[in-house]
């Protein structure tokens, strides 16, 4: 068809940022992460069908009315894999995961049972995105200024190339660091979510950012459903993969085993760093707990509060004596 400049131009879905100089800030990579449960199967809906679903095998007719005591018993069995496990695949959750680096994105999307919606890099300008910075670099005066300077220079070159209008966003983005933040939507079911969380809270193999995402996801799950007292996830569970493979020559051994994973004989020289993970935290590591240790302690406190609340709620429901 012929060109027709009399047509009203299409309104594009993203801001056009030609001529804008990069304007951004640096934030700690862990403190910048925010996981929000934006949608999930409501608790009220779940308890209306869960007992009938998990007991269908033995029923002459579909069960449609349940005592509250049965609801509590069946819910607890379902979430602890003591009944038909496919029930957990019917419980959907959608998260928004904000503030993660490009490196974190690559870890997230490896989990192929999730469905994702991505904040893309080729359809919009990234000049003003927050740049995340690990605590270890923040604690290293001889490196932190270089880190920030190179990030700034890469952003400026990115913007200059785009402003030339001879280099597309698609090509210019290749100069960007991995440290600009992103958000993703991730949708999954409870069964697959628990598998993801248990894998990603491993402190021996997974990066700290993966741990933080896993902690926040589990806390969100426990806020949505009264299940924290079931102890489905232990924030201090051992790193079984690490324990099994640290001495077989097919593992990337980074750090000495923490107390929860120190369950095998090892040589200091088995590891790339002859120290524990939280000690590899910059050339001038300050006294006191690291940012990660402070965040983990806070998450543990929140989890304990959720355990008390969920146990109390389920006891009340069990003792109510009515039917649903």
3-class secondary structure, 209: helix
Are β-strands 131-133 and 26-28 bridged in parallel, bridged antiparallel, or unpaired? parallel
State how far the Cα of 321 lies from the Cα of 179, in Å rounded to an integer.
55
Collapsing DSSP states into helix, strand and coil, what is residue 180? Answer: strand
CA 74, CA 314: separation in Å to the nearest integer? 12
The residue that leads in pLDDT, 211 or 319, is 211
pLDDT, tens only, 28-72: 999 999 999 999 999 999 999 999 999 998 888 888 888 999 999
pLDDT in tens, 113-154: 899 999 888 889 999 999 999 999 999 999 999 999 999 999
pLDDT-derived band at 215 (thresholds 50, 70, 90) equals very high
> In 3D, which of 196, 194, 272 has the Cα closest to residue 233?
194
Q: For strands 115-118 and 26-28, give the pairing.
A: unpaired
**pLDDT tens, residue by residue, 260-309:** 999 999 999 999 999 999 999 999 989 999 999 999 999 999 999 999 99
Q: Give the torsion sign (CA, 140, 146, 152, 155).
A: negative
Residue 322, pLDDT score? 66
DSSP character at residue 323: B
DSSP annotation of 204 reads T
Of the pLDDT bands very low, low, confident and very high (cuts 50, 70, 90), residue 249 is confident
Q: Supply the DSSP symbol for 67.
A: B
Question: Rounded mean pLDDT of 231-246?
Answer: 94
CA distance 193 to 187: 9
State yes or no: pLDDT of 20 exceeds 80.
yes
Distance CA 166, CA 169 (A): 10
Distance of CA 72 to the CA centre of its chain: 29
Mean pLDDT of 178-184: 96
Domains along the chain?
A: 26-237+287-320 (3.30.1360.170)
- 74 pLDDT more than 80: yes
> How many other C-beta atoms lie within 10 A of the C-beta of residue 324?
15
3-state helix, strand, coil in the chain (%, to 5): 45, 10, 40
What is the model's pLDDT at position 250?
Answer: 87
pLDDT of 211 over the 90 cut = yes
Q: How confident is the model over 182-203, as pLDDT tens digits?
A: 999 999 999 999 999 999 999 9
C-alpha R_g of the chain: 24
Q: What is the 3-state secondary structure (H, E, C) of 244-282?
A: HHCCCCCCCCCCCCCHHHCCCCCCHHHCCCCCCHHHCCC
Q: Give residue 324's pLDDT.
A: 67
Under 8 Å between Cβ of 127 and 20: yes
pLDDT for 174 equals 97
Q: Residue 110 — pLDDT band, cuts 50, 70, 90? A: confident
């Amino acid at each position: 068809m012929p060109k027709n400049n009399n047509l009203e131009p299409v309104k594009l879905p993203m801001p056009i940022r030609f001529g804008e100089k990069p304007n951004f800030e640096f934030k700690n990579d862990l403190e910048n992460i925010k996981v929000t449960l934006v949608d999930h199967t409501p608790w009220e809906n779940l308890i209306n069908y869960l007992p009938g679903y998990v007991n269908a095998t033995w029923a002459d007719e579909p069960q449609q009315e349940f005592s509250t005591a049965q609801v509590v018993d069946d819910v607890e069995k379902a979430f602890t894999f003591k009944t038909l496990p496919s029930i957990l695949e019917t419980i959907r959750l959608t998260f928004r995961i904000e503030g993660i680096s490009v490196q974190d994105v690559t870890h997230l999307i490896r989990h192929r049972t999730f469905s994702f919606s991505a904040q893309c890099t080729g359809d919009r300008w990234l000049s003003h995105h927050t740049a995340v910075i690990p605590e270890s670099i923040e604690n290293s005066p001889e490196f932190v200024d270089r880190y920030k300077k190179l990030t700034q220079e890469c952003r400026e070159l990115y913007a200059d190339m785009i402003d030339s209008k001879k280099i597309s966003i698609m090509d210019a983005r290749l100069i960007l660091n991995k440290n600009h933040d992103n958000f993703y939507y991730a949708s999954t079911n409870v069964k697959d979510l628990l598998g993801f969380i248990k894998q990603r809270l491993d402190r021996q193999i997974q990066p700290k950012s993966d741990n933080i995402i896993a902690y926040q996801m589990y806390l969100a799950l426990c806020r949505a459903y009264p299940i924290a007292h079931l102890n489905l996830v232990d924030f201090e569970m051992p790193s079984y993969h690490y324990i099994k493979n640290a001495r077989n020559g097919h593992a990337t051994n980074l750090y000495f085993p923490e107390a929860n994973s120190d369950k095998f004989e090892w040589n200091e020289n088995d590891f790339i760093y002859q120290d524990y993970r939280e000690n590899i935290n910059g050339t001038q590591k300050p006294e006191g707990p690291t940012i990660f240790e402070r965040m983990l302690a806070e998450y543990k406190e929140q989890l304990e509060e959720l355990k008390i609340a969920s146990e109390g709620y389920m006891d009340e429901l069990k003792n109510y004596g009515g039917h649903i």
